[in-house]
Amino acid sequence: MSDKPSVLFVCVHNAGRSQMAAAWLTHLAGDRVEVRSAGSNPGDQVNPAAVEAMAEVGIDISAEVPKMLTVDAVQESDVCVTMGCGDTCPVFPGKRYLDWKLDDPAGQGVEAVRPIRDEIKKLVEGLLEEIAPQESRGVTRPDS
């Protein structure tokens, strides 16, 4: 068992919003937070517009693959974030559940995905501030 916080991002296809959120949290938190993403009906591939939008900010999600939401993924996570898509996660005592109201980037071009990407970054920064406040403020550890 890890003592670092863990977050699961969920959207229906695990191809856009949840992939971008997982990438942002991994990018901003490094290895200080365990990050997962999944979908109730995973797509065949990550949304190409999401891949392009994240590449514009230096984050490569081109190798990511949509994953199926499992009870284990929820059980192993401290925070479960759904992406305003009506998905529901199995509920376990002691877990924190958030629902972020975000537009769906499916079928959208990169121009429409950029503002979604930027909103996700703001939400992830706020979540990181709550679950790992010192790290998100850029405090360096003595061993770094």
List residues with catalytic annotation. Answer: 11, 85, 89
Please provide the DSSP assignment of 36-64 as one string: EEEBSS--SS--HHHHHHHHTTT---TT-
CB contact at 8 A, 104 and 20: no
Q: How do beta strands 34-38 and 96-99 pair?
A: unpaired
Helix (H), strand (E) at residue 126? helix 110-131
